[in-house]
Amino acid sequence: MTVLPTIPFVEQDENALLAHLKAEGASEDMRRVALDLHRDGLATIDLVNDETLALCDQATAELEPAYLKPGKINRVQDAWRRSPAVRRLATDKRITDFLRLAYGREPFAFQTLNFLFGSQQGAHSDVTHFHAEPARFMCGVWLALEDVYEDAGALLYYPGSHKLPLMTPPNMGITKDAPTKQDYNEKGGQTLHALVAEHGLELAVGLPKKGQAMIWAANLFHGGTKRTHPDRTRRSLVTHFFFKGCLYHTPMTSGTTINRHSVRLPADISTGQWQWPSRDGRPVMPQWRTLAAAMNYRLQRNPICFP
Ligand SMILES: O=C(O)CCC(=O)C(=O)O
């Protein structure tokens, strides 16, 4: 019986990671990506080829109607349900092969976000919004659908921040069981910036070319820099991944304990089906409200047919 790791290989110590990469016969390229991700919490992987570049253009065309809707729409969630190109890019085999190698469990994409312009989001860790048990089995993949220029608002991040305490409610000093968004904005920002200062971490920006992707670790502190060119687009696709055989939850609505209310029922983008959460090999039943919300969301999002 295969024993699944309880800490992703890429988040273990360097010697353990190197031994794993050697045992798996990782290519020189994959070894480089894994070591960058281990050290910085972010690594760039080059997906550029004719097919990927054509899919970037197709995704851009398929998303255009969403951005043309009235109101200032910059972020489209789960476009994979309607856009075949977004779905294909989100499930690129080169990414899933790498994540399987680096994490030691089977990855699945569960959410996509498309941006037309730079997000200008404050620095945060995704662990506040969605996370897993065992910890750190989650990551983000940011794909450039066009070349990124600094004045369009780049992805900002703090290399090494993924190794700092996880940005969960208790670690942010939030002790209430029903924290508000304001609690998160205030406490979260304060805690994050205090940690950055205490550890002397420096800001970095990612400026990928069309077809390049940046993979970030679960707890990497990241956000978006200011846009200084008001009209310059920065079309991007962010795909979030979980790993099979884990419990998926939302720390932000969990208060100080992981309770049934916070358990998620994520979609597996490659099949369109839900991926059931589990703990220690046993399925965990999400609360009925989560089931109802997941069903409602699926119906509203007009799922495309999968083969
Ligand atoms: O693309 C950006 O500017 C930031 C995206 C981001 O922070 C996220 O999707 O979590």
Q: Residue 38's domain is classified under what CATH number?
A: 2.60.120.620
* Domain count for the chain: 1
pLDDT score for 94: 98
Residue 1 included in any domain? no
Residue 2 included in any domain? no
**Which range of residues forms the domain containing residue 270?**
9-300
Residue 19 included in any domain? yes
Residue 57 included in any domain? yes
Residue 154 CB–ligand 1 contact under 6 Å:
no
DSSP code, position 160: T
Residue 135 CB–ligand 1 contact under 6 Å:
no
Please give the distance, rounded to the nearest whole angstrom, from the Cα atom of residue 112 to the centre of ligand 1: 11
pLDDT at 105 over 70: yes
Residue 295 included in any domain? yes
Please give the distance, rounded to the nearest whole angstrom, from the Cα atom of residue 221 to the centre of ligand 1: 10
7: phi then psi, degrees, rounded to nearest 5: -125, 130
Residue 113 CB–ligand 1 contact under 6 Å:
yes
Tell me which of 110-119, 167-176, 193-202 is least confident. 167-176
Which span out of 97-101, 189-193, 228-232, 300-304 was modeled with the highest average pLDDT?
97-101
138: phi then psi, degrees, rounded to nearest 5: -165, 145
pLDDT at 40 over 90: yes
Pocket test of ligand 1: the residue of 110, 146, 155 to mutate, having most ligand atoms within 8 Å of its CB, is 155
Residue nearest ligand 1's atom 7 by CA: 223
SS (HEC) of 31-97: HHHHHHHHHHCEEEEECCCHHHHHHHHHHHHHHHHHHCCCCCCCEEECHHHCCHHHHHHHCCHHHHH
Residue 281 included in any domain? yes
pLDDT score for 113: 96
Residue nearest ligand 1's atom 6 by CA: 223
Q: Work out the pLDDT band at 302, boundaries 50, 70, 90.
A: low
Residue 21 included in any domain? yes
Residue 238 CB–ligand 1 contact under 6 Å:
yes
Provide the percentage of residues in the chain whose pLDDT is more than 90.
75
Q: Work out the pLDDT band at 264, boundaries 50, 70, 90.
A: very high
- Nearest ligand 1 atom to the CA of 118 is 3
- Nearest ligand 1 atom to the CA of 154 is 3
Q: Considering the chain, what is the average pLDDT of its residues?
A: 91
Residue nearest ligand 1's atom 10 by CA: 126
Q: Work out the pLDDT band at 99, boundaries 50, 70, 90.
A: very high
Task: Tell me if the bond preceding 134 is cis, omega within 30° of 0.
Answer: yes
Residue 225 included in any domain? yes
Please give the distance, rounded to the nearest whole angstrom, from the Cα atom of residue 282 to the centre of ligand 1: 33
- Nearest ligand 1 atom to the CA of 238 is 9
Distances from the Cα of 302 to the Cαs of 80, 81, 241, in angstroms?
A: 11, 7, 21
pTM of the full structure: 0.94
List residues bridging with 132 in a β-sheet. Answer: 248
